[in-house]
Amino acid sequence: MITLGIETSCDETALALIRDGKLLHDVISSQTDIHSLFGGVVPEIASREHYRLIGRLFADLLKKTDLSIAMIDTVAVSRGPGLLGSLLVGLGFAKGLAAASNARLVGVNHLHAHLLAAGLEQQLRFPAVGLLVSGGHTHIYHILSANDFRLLGRTLDDAAGEAFDKVAKMLNMPYPGGHLIDRIGRMAMPDVKLFTKPYVDNDNLDFSFSGLKTAASLHIQRNPHLRFSSPAEAARRCAVAEEETTSLQELAVLCASFNHTVAQTLRIKMQRALERLMTQEQGRPVSLVVAGGVAANSMVREAMTGLAEHFDVEAVLPSLSLCTDNGAMVAYAGEQLARLGLRHLPDLEAIPRGQAIPDDMVRDEGACPAICGK
């Protein structure tokens, strides 16, 4: 089975082709440089860039894989959550391709695709407990299969990735700056008393990072010398950060402390989830899956790996290239659904952030789990 994955949920235009779970090739165009001028993603600009780029990227992908449209069995596309205008560009393109090639159309939950992405590199074992931690979401799931995700906890305000990027902006770092906080933070030991772990004195699995973001803001206001003079200066100095360990030491402590606080907050909630799920007779996790942009953070990866070892479950962390938005994860998730005989009809709708994604797939008559072809 050959599956095309289309990802346009935010500001990356990404497409990939996979054959039977193996990546053939992927292409991606990031809009980071454009949106960094505004300190964040501008939805109207994002959708126009997707529209401008998606056709030529698809043509490039076919050329590099030496495939034709007629050879595609399944067209998988991120249908949400995301920016509505951006989603509509990808969805319209996917519907056109599916109609032209008589391929199966599969709308993919963007969040679930992140958590399945590691399946491109290793076999996923279910049941699993999954942590999705990105710029827009911080969710905990009980994952029973590639098509059975049960939400256990979610962010009540700022997601972890959003908090990283906003603190980076306060420090005058270029957007998105979360990875720069991680890089500089690796140069120092955290001050574990600098920040309080947010929203952990409860018994639920939800998150709230707005208070931590405010605490970091107040610390920066009291220490304005920590700010870079401009994003350009921040980019220049961060590029050679290891050579400026002395001049960046105080900033490194701040970044390390922020990294530590986020990572330990995630660890506490995930430990709580694992403790509860381990008491169940059915659905006991055998793996811990971490996904999303913040899954690339070094302290988060270290904390989750240690937690998996403590509970004697497999730690599943995708490579750094699969943590951010990409077409390969959409293609892989779509292929898993197609192999279950599931598809969408041409009236498939885009679902923006904040709205529940409906269970509106239909099953092919006579389909079996190993379904192939069109």
Binding site members for Fe cation:
110, 114, 325
From CA 9, how far away is CA 31, in angstroms rounded? 12
* Bridge partners (DSSP) listed for residue 143: 128, 149
**What DSSP character marks residue 207?**
B
H/E stretch holding 316 = strand 314-316
8 A C-beta contact, residue 372 and residue 364: no
Q: Enumerate the known binding-site residues.
A: 110, 114, 132-136, 165, 178, 182, 297, 325
- The set of residues, in sequence order, having a beta carbon less than 8 Å from that of 158 and lying 6+ positions away, is 166, 208, 209, 210, 213
Q: Could you give the C-alpha distances from 169 to 41, 229, 236, in angstroms and in order?
A: 13, 12, 16
Helices (H) and strands (E) in the chain, counts: 11, 12
DSSP-assigned letters across all residues of 244-260: GTTTTHHHHHHHHHHHH
* Bridge partners (DSSP) listed for residue 106: 76
Q: Enumerate the known binding-site residues for substrate.
A: 132-136, 165, 178, 182, 297
8 A C-beta contact, residue 24 and residue 65: yes
**What DSSP character marks residue 320?**
G
Q: Which two tokens stand for residue 146?
A: 């590639």
